[in-house]
Amino acid sequence: MLNFKGKKSISQTKNDSHAGTIATFAAGCFWGVEEAFRSLKGIIKTTVGYAGGNMKDPTYEMVCTSETGHAEAVQVEFDPKIISFEQLLEVFWKCHNPTTKNRQGPDVGSQYRSAIFYHTEEQQKVAEAAKQKLIKKGVPVVTEIIQATQFFPAEEYHQKYLLKHGKVCHI
């Protein structure tokens, strides 16, 4: 799918035939989050990008203003025969602090918020149950759980950034 500027965007909603094998998570800077998922057995592909905003074709610079409404996110294509959505959620909860609103470590702004963008009603149900389980344990989770809409892949230099540059993340 091309948006109005000709940049490729990915639309993954409940009606998409791949929806059960796609998961989208926002958990702070997308470089480390991508790395947390990328090497897991059963992961087919990871793409860093922008989700949950109100602007078509956002750029990194635009998202950094916190004015587009987008979060830095990672879209994960996975094989549910090898890794389940529940197992992906376990990684999600562990790779960031879901109790801080619009912040992860030194990164501050709504683009760094904690969010699960669900693609199916089943993902929504599982994500809500996992969040409630943490809350019942006394963890003040602020993670948003919202329906996935259009996902915009980030610029190429952001894709697999840590792997390309031989860097590691605090995650």
Active site (annotated) includes residue 29:
yes
**In this structure, how many other beta carbons lie within 10 angstroms of the beta carbon of residue 75?**
25
- Percent helix, strand, coil in the chain (nearest 5)? 30, 25, 45
Q: 3-class DSSP state for residue 94?
A: helix
Burial of 32 (0-12, 13-18, 19+ CB in 10 A): buried
Selected catalytic residue, list 29, 64, 95, 169: 29
SS (H, E, C) 97-111: CCCCCCEECCEECHH
Please state, in angstroms and rounded to a whole number, the distance separating the CA atoms of residues 159 and 157.
6
Please state, in angstroms and rounded to a whole number, the distance separating the CA atoms of residues 103 and 7.
28
Q: Apex CA 63: angle with CA 117 and CA 15, to 5°?
A: 30
State the catalytic residues.
29
